Amino acid sequence: MATAIETIAVPAEPILRPKSWRSTVLRNARRNPVGAVAGIACFGLILLAVFGATVAPYDASNISFERLQAPSADHPFGTDSLSRDLLSRIMHGAWNSLGVAFVAIAVSMVLGVTLGVMSGYLGGAIDLVTSRFIDVMLAYPAIVFVIFFVTIFGREFHSVAIAIGLILVPGTTRIVRSATIGVKHQQFIEAAISIGSSPARIMLRHVLPNVAAPIIVIASVQIGVAILVEAAISFLGQGVSSATNPSWGRMLNEMRPSWQLAWWTMIVPGAAISSAVIAFNIFGDALRDWLDPRLRGSR
């Protein structure tokens, strides 16, 4: 009897109930399990960046261990040539490796979305100036620009993050601009104009929500690029100058003399960078398939 009632009650989604965001997320997670795992990994990486330094087992500059110890239960990632625990150093460095990328994305989004929506919707002089600005930004090789910027404004966390954010702005602006042009001539915009909404209100309340999908997609794709650029810069010794919270690229470069003696000093920082980027790239792909199927497989 009980089973009979259950079978009747089972139809999982009653047709009239509006889909909650939770069920949407779960459905997509089931359809793309790899993407879902990557999403969870990305969330973990954000936690690592924020709390890594506080929960690390040892201090980043604790030198009380045996030097160049191979990975073991006590030191899962081994120790480096200065007798420091690599796992702890990776955790302490997470903020300067990943946090820089997160702030850079924020910079790129704020500037790129503002410029993209305004130049796409308003057109005219603003569009012209914006596209010239993009041309100027695109004329610098990414890493060269960041090195130049950081030389001028100092190797601080915020200047590295702003520099990386600036090189990502052209990409964001272009995509947001073309998405804006796509929605600009639709009827709901016309309706908003006809009831007398101001351009500012239309851009904020009508255009922005409708270009949100490409914005989210481009952000998740750019995080990977930002992490790689930060790693390259700090590998060159031009990243955030902090001995206590070394970024992963710098860690790899600092251990140069011990690469051949102890393979893990070379593998650990590089693998940390790569796995973070892989997680964000796969998650970005999954997000794109879900939110913006037209872009599937591009890049």
Partner 1 sequence: MGRYIIRRLLLAIPVLLVVSILIFGGVRVVPGDVCKIVLGSADVTDEQCGRIESQLGLDKPVVSQYFSWLGGVLQGDFGRSMTNRRSVTSVIEDRMYVTVELAVMSSVLAITIALPIGVYSALKQDKGPDVFLRFVTIGWLSMPSFWVGTMLIVFPAIWWGYATPVPYAHFWEDPLKNLEQMYLPTIALALSLSATLARLTRSSMLEVLRQDYVRTARAKGLHERVVLSKHALKNAMLPVVTLIGIQLGFLLGGTVVLESLFALPGLGTLLVESVITKDFPQIQGLVLFFAVIIILINIAVDLSYALFDPRVRFS
Among the listed residues 252, 264, 288, 290, the single contact to partner 1 using CB under 8 A: 252
CB of 15 vs partner 1, minimal distance in Å: 31
CB-facing half-sphere around the CA of 137: CA atoms within 13 A: 22
Binding to partner 1 in span 15-34, by CB under 8 A: none
Binding mask 122-161 for partner 1 (x = CB under 8 A): ----------x--xx-xxxxxxxx-xxx-xxxx-------
Q: What gap in Å lies between CA 193 and CA 162, rounded to an integer?
A: 36
DSSP tag of 243: S
Q: What gap in Å lies between CA 153 and CA 160, rounded to an integer?
A: 9
CB of 235 vs partner 1, minimal distance in Å: 5
Contact 159, 101 (CB under 8 A): no
Instruction: Assess 101 for contact with partner 1 (CB under 8 A).
Output: no
Instruction: Assess 226 for contact with partner 1 (CB under 8 A).
Output: no
CB of 224 vs partner 1, minimal distance in Å: 7
Give the amino acid at 182: G
* Nearer Cβ to partner 1 (72/151): 151
Give the amino acid at 8: I
Contact 235, 249 (CB under 8 A): yes
Among the listed residues 172, 173, 238, 247, the single contact to partner 1 using CB under 8 A: 238
User: Counting Cβ atoms within 10 Å, is residue 45 exposed (0-12), middle (13-18) or buried (19+)?
Assistant: buried
Q: What gap in Å lies between CA 106 and CA 100, rounded to an integer?
A: 10
CB of 69 vs partner 1, minimal distance in Å: 18
- Write out 144-157 in H/E/C secondary structure: HHHHHHHHHHCCCH
CB of 266 vs partner 1, minimal distance in Å: 6
Checking phi first, is residue 32 left (phi over 0); if not, alpha (psi -120 to 50) or beta? beta
Q: What gap in Å lies between CA 82 and CA 56, rounded to an integer?
A: 18
Q: What gap in Å lies between CA 285 and CA 299, rounded to an integer?
A: 10
* Nearer Cβ to partner 1 (87/282): 282
Q: What gap in Å lies between CA 41 and CA 43, rounded to an integer?
A: 5
CB of 287 vs partner 1, minimal distance in Å: 14
Applying CB under 8 A, what is the total number of residues that bind partner 1?
A: 47
Instruction: Assess 270 for contact with partner 1 (CB under 8 A).
Output: yes
* Nearer Cβ to partner 1 (217/282): 282
Q: Which stretch in 76-84, 92-100, 106-114, 267-275 sits in contact with partner 1 by CB under 8 A?
A: 267-275
Residue recorded with tokens 């104009």 = 193
Instruction: Assess 293 for contact with partner 1 (CB under 8 A).
Output: no
* Nearer Cβ to partner 1 (11/257): 257
Q: Which stretch in 76-84, 177-185, 201-209, 280-288 sits in contact with partner 1 by CB under 8 A?
A: 280-288
Q: What is the contact surface with partner 1 in residues (CB under 8 A)?
A: 132, 135-136, 138-145, 147-149, 151-154, 224, 228-229, 231-232, 235-238, 249, 252, 259-260, 263, 266, 269-270, 273-275, 277-278, 281-282, 285, 296-299
